[in-house]
């Protein structure tokens, strides 16, 4: 969803230290007393040195298994199997064929929709949807969808996937993830959203997915599909669940068979485990000069030692662009800070962006987090919208707004912050942002194009993406209204908020956001 800033060379860094020292002092003097207080709450020497533990695992080394589409929930996620030539399936003398099966295209019965994982040995042959008869010949092993099953001894809280070669085409291929919950049941499948980059992925600047919050899981499963078709597989002869599978070859199966040989082996899982904070009470809040209260970088535990560059500043601010993080919607007020730290570590270290890509983040409880280093009252260039990072501020709502609408507190905080920030720059929230596009492969506009978008726009207005989500984009009308652009729409036209979001659990000491002046 964003593109990375390249790390500066050692020579450039050395010159910056020598020549830019005076600039850094002067720039700091221009900031408000409140912002300076944020920076001095914790010095670089006092910053946490290991606030986010991380580990990487190559999926080529992760065992695979086959899951029944209905029982695993993949069917409900829109995943099917291609038409198969069942005569090509391996014979299993010890696996009798069931007498009946679900016809091709039929909805699964309620008894087969448990979210729990299904053993490959019990996978129904009806998973081979599209077969002429809908059932496997007698003695054939049942077919399921091939997935990678990662198990760890210690829990991890976030996971993202990267690749260093152009192997994944997100326009045609889908990657899904589910995590096992503490109660032993599997959560729903989450479709992973790609982060669009400015060039071909490489070891220096890998491609990647948005990181997903899994809340302390020890097991995850990853599935791949092409045009909604999963990789068909069945247990190999003599396998007892160790992950040895036979890919099922047949008509229409070659494209998804290639996913197992070309995409899965190139993926690397980055497992992140941000430390917990004891609380996010009112003592953690900093009031912006004349504006709302925010949780500063020092307060949410940003490890400044992992930043690899000083911020780039635009001469002017011309507009605001709204995003969503595309991760999980299931998090507590205290876990929001962990999510921000995890995104920061993933952006700065895993993707080599040097810092978190967003300028500011807002959670579903209305908590506002300072993002990229440099000060919220300065024109810090983030890495949030390819081709349009200059002259813009990027605000991201924490959650997957393709699945649920943003909560009332989230919308209110986004509107209040943008009202303060745009007013500070002398911009009319009801006006138009006149921006000049820079080159970006997924931009909607060629380099040099003069664009004219609403002052508060969505990521999808500039790049080829669904961000800020199917349900997040309509909420921009409300955000603009709260920022002072127009009157908020009548209640009946506002995006529907999920029941769980109408009365969010407040922090122990809930933030009190002062009205913007």
Q: Which two tokens stand for residue 101?
A: 């099966």
pLDDT in tens, 186-206: 999 999 999 877 778 999 999
pLDDT above 50 for 387: yes
Average pLDDT of the residues in 277-301 = 81
Check residue 397 and give its pLDDT.
98
Check residue 18 and give its pLDDT.
28
Alpha-carbon distance of 508 to 284, in angstroms, equals 12
Q: Between β-strands 319-324 and 392-397, what pairing exists: parallel, antiparallel or unpaired?
A: parallel
pLDDT in tens, 400-459: 999 999 999 999 999 999 999 999 999 999 999 999 999 998 899 999 999 999 999 999
Alpha-carbon distance of 499 to 275, in angstroms, equals 30
Give Cα separations from 163 to 227, 272, 281, 435, 496 (angstroms): 20, 17, 39, 32, 37
Check residue 239 and give its pLDDT.
56
Mean pLDDT computed over every residue of the chain: 77
Q: Between β-strands 360-362 and 368-370, what pairing exists: parallel, antiparallel or unpaired?
A: antiparallel
Alpha-carbon distance of 51 to 277, in angstroms, equals 10
Check residue 24 and give its pLDDT.
28
pLDDT in tens, 319-344: 999 999 998 899 999 999 999 999 99
Contact (Cβ atoms closer than 8 angstroms) between residue 382 and residue 372: yes
For 52, residues 6+ apart whose C-beta sits below 8 A from its C-beta are 272, 273, 274, 275, 303, 341, 342, 344, 345
Average pLDDT of the residues in 239-261 = 69
Q: Tell whether pTM > 0.85.
A: no
Check residue 514 and give its pLDDT.
37
Helix axes 10-19, 21-29, angle to 10 degrees: 60
pLDDT in tens, 449-502: 999 999 999 999 999 999 999 999 999 999 999 999 654 455 444 344 343 443
Average pLDDT of the residues in 89-104 = 44
Check residue 176 and give its pLDDT.
96
Q: Between β-strands 232-235 and 245-247, what pairing exists: parallel, antiparallel or unpaired?
A: antiparallel
- If you ran DSSP here, which 8-state letter would residue 211 be given? P
C-alpha 36 chain-centroid distance: 31
> Among 193, 239, 187, 185, which Cα is nearest to 2's?
193
pLDDT above 70 for 156: yes
Check residue 275 and give its pLDDT.
83
Contact (Cβ atoms closer than 8 angstroms) between residue 353 and residue 382: no
Alpha-carbon distance of 369 to 294, in angstroms, equals 6
Give Cα separations from 322 to 362, 392, 452, 462 (angstroms): 11, 10, 16, 11
pLDDT above 80 for 86: no
pLDDT above 60 for 317: yes
> Among 187, 145, 440, 490, which Cα is nearest to 331's?
187
DSSP 117-132: ---GGG--GGGSTT-S
Check residue 237 and give its pLDDT.
61
pLDDT in tens, 35-68: 322 332 333 233 344 568 999 999 999 999 999 9
State percent of the chain over pLDDT 70: 69
Sign of the four-CA dihedral 204, 314, 476, 34: positive
Average pLDDT of the residues in 104-124 = 36
The greatest distance separating any two alpha carbons of the chain, rounded to the nearest whole angstrom, comes to 81
Q: Which pLDDT band, with edges at 50, 70 and 90, does 19 fall under? A: very low
Alpha-carbon distance of 409 to 364, in angstroms, equals 6
SS (H, E, C) 398-413: CCCCCCCCCCHHHHHH
pLDDT above 80 for 395: yes
Alpha-carbon distance of 96 to 320, in angstroms, equals 61
Average pLDDT of the residues in 369-380 = 96
Check residue 238 and give its pLDDT.
57
pLDDT above 60 for 30: no
pLDDT above 90 for 140: no
Beta bridge partners of 144: 233
Alpha-carbon distance of 364 to 376, in angstroms, equals 20
Q: Which pLDDT band, with edges at 50, 70 and 90, does 283 fall under? A: low
Alpha-carbon distance of 323 to 306, in angstroms, equals 24
Check residue 233 and give its pLDDT.
86
C-alpha 60 chain-centroid distance: 22
């Amino acid at each position: 969803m964003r593109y990375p800033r390249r790390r500066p060379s050692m020579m450039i860094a050395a010159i910056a230290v020598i020549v830019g020292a005076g600039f850094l002092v002067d720039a700091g003097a221009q900031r408000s007393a409140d912002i300076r207080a944020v920076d001095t709450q914790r010095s670089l020497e006092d910053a946490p040195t290991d606030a986010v533990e991380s580990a990487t695992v190559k999926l080529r080394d992760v065992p695979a298994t086959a899951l029944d589409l209905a029982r695993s929930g993949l069917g409900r996620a829109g995943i099917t199997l291609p038409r198969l030539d069942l005569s090509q399936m391996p014979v299993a003398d010890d696996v009798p064929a069931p007498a009946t099966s679900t016809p091709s295209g039929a909805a699964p019965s309620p008894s087969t929709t448990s979210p729990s994982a299904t053993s490959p040995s019990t996978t129904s042959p009806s998973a081979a949807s599209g077969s002429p008869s809908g059932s496997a010949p007698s003695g054939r092993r049942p077919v399921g969808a091939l997935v990678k099953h990662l198990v760890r001894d210690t829990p991890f809280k976030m996971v993202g996937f990267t690749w260093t070669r152009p192997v994944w085409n997100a326009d045609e291929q889908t990657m899904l993830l589910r995590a096992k919950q503490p109660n032993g049941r599997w959560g729903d499948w989450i479709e992973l959203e790609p982060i669009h980059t400015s060039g071909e992925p490489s070891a220096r600047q890998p491609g990647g997915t948005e990181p997903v919050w899994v809340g302390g899981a020890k097991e995850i499963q990853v599935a791949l599909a092409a045009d909604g078709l999963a990789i068909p597989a069945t247990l190999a002869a003599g396998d007892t669940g160790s992950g040895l599978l036979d890919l099922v070859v047949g008509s229409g199966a070659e494209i998804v068979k290639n996913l197992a040989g070309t995409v899965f082996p190139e993926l690397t899982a980055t497992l992140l485990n941000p430390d917990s904070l004891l609380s996010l009470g009112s003592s953690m809040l900093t009031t912006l000069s004349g504006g709302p209260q925010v949780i500063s970088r020092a307060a949410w535990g940003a490890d400044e030692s992992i930043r690899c560059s000083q911020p780039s500043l635009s001469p002017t601010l011309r507009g605001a662009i709204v995003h969503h993080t595309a991760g999980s919607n299931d998090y507590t007020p205290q876990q929001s800070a962990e999510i921000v730290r995890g995104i920061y570590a993933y952006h700065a270290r895993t993707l080599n962006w040097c810092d978190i890509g967003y300028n500011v983040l807002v959670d579903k409880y209305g908590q506002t987090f300072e993002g990229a280093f440099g000060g919220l009252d300065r024109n810090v260039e983030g890495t949030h919208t390819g081709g349009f990072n200059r002259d813009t501020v990027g605000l991201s709502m924490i959650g997957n707004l393709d699945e649920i609408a943003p909560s009332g507190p989230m919308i209110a905080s986004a509107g209040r912050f943008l009202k303060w920030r745009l007013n500070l720059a002398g911009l009319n929230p009801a006006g138009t942002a006149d921006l000049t596009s820079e080159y970006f492969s997924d931009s909607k506009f060629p380099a040099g194009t003069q664009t004219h978008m609403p002052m508060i726009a969505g990521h999808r207005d500039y790049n080829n993406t669904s961000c800020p989500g199917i349900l997040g984009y309509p909420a921009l009308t409300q955000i603009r209204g709260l920022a002072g652009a127009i009157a908020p729409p009548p209640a009946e036209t506002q995006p529907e908020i999920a029941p769980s979001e109408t009365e969010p659990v407040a922090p122990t000491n809930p933030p009190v956001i002062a009205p913007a002046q």
